[in-house]
């Protein structure tokens, strides 16, 4: 088997695991899911980034978007496909989007993502990534969240776990270490989650697949 065939097999295996689990529950975690070459490229980029590349992350939809350091303290940098690493990342997520749509008919339409840096002490309190749609809501909605971790040698003492809660947000059901190459994927409006305070620099990419809010007779304004 050629290297290219091996990497296609690796990706299929990982995508299959994601869709099979998501057909039964609202979240899935796959260790070592990032293709090694992609993980290396993204990690190399993260290491080159300086504090100036990042901006403080905000909370809420764009019209009431606010900086709230009580809720979250991470720093983010949106991924626009500015270099090969970002392009490969977006291509990987686009293949995942197609795969999920074919298997689960989710109608995923667009994708957005950003690098996130949690400095020591930074956290993100329990939250949902999207609210359940109201009948009057317009625009593209986040439906599926994805987080990829880029932290070689992470130890339990480093904290910074992604804590997944039950659907009511009452009890933690899983704590996930932000280990290099791990992917966490979950339904944006159904899985309350938080990022526990990290004791060392923690790097990740958070992304969201959206469904298209366009109705037959009009095009929704961007959020």
Chain contacts with ligand OGA (rule: CB under 6 A): 116, 124, 129, 147, 162, 193, 195, 204, 206
Task: Please identify, among the stretches 22-30, 44-52, 103-111, 123-131, the one whose residues bind Mn ion according to the rule CB under 5 A.
Answer: 123-131
Give me the residue label for tokens 């469904």. Answer: 211
Looking at beta carbons only, is 144 or 206 nearer to ligand OGA?
206
Measure the CA–CA gap between 34 and 180, rounded to whole angstroms: 9
> With contacts defined by CB under 5 A, how many residues of the chain interact with Mn ion?
1
Measured from the CB of residue 1, what is the shortest distance to ligand OGA in angstroms?
A: 34
Looking at beta carbons only, is 11 or 129 nearer to Mn ion?
129
142 binds, among ligand OGA, Mn ion, none (CB under 5 to 8 A by kind): none
CA distance to 29, 48, 50, per residue, from 53 (Å): 28, 10, 5
204 binds, among ligand OGA, Mn ion, none (CB under 5 to 8 A by kind): ligand OGA
Task: Please identify, among the stretches 23-31, 87-95, 128-136, 160-168, the one whose residues bind Mn ion according to the rule CB under 5 A.
Answer: 128-136
Contact residue for Mn ion among 86, 129, 161, 194 (CB under 5 A): 129
By CB under 5 A, is residue 11 in contact with Mn ion? no
Long-range own/partner contacts, residues 77-85 (CB < 8 A, 24 or more apart): 77/49, 77/53, 77/114, 77/115, 77/117, 78/112, 78/113, 78/114, 79/113, 79/114, 79/115, 79/205, 79/207, 83/45, 84/41, 85/38, 85/41, 85/42, 85/44, 85/45
Looking at beta carbons only, is 207 or 213 nearer to ligand OGA?
207
Specify the pairing of strand 108-118 against strand 162-165: unpaired
Measured from the CB of residue 217, what is the shortest distance to ligand OGA in angstroms?
A: 33
Measure the CA–CA gap between 9 and 4, rounded to whole angstroms: 9
């Amino acid at each position: 088997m050629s290297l290219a065939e091996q990497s296609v097999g690796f990706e299929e295996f990982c995508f299959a695991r994601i869709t099979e689990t998501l057909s039964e529950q609202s979240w899935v975690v796959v260790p070592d899911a990032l293709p090694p070459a992609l993980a290396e490229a993204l990690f190399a980029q993260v290491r080159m980034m300086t504090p100036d590349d990042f901006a403080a992350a905000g909370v809420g939809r764009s019209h009431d978007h606010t900086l709230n350091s009580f809720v979250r303290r991470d720093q983010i940098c949106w991924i626009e496909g500015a270099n090969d690493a970002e392009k490969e990342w977006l291509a990987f997520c686009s293949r995942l989007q197609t795969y999920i749509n074919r298997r689960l008919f989710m109608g995923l339409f667009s994708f957005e993502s950003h690098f996130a840096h949690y400095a020591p002490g930074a956290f993100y309190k329990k939250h949902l990534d999207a609210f359940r749609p109201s009948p009057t809501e317009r625009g593209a909605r986040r439906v599926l969240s994805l987080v990829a971790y880029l932290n070689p040698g992470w130890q339990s003492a480093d904290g910074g776990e992604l804590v997944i809660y039950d659907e009511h947000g009452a009890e933690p059901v899983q704590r996930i270490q932000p280990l290099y190459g791990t992917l966490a994927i979950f339904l944006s409006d159904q899985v309350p989650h938080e990022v526990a305070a990290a004791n060392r620099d923690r790097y990740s990419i958070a992304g969201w697949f959206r469904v298209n809010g366009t109705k037959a007779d009009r095009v929704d304004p961007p959020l």
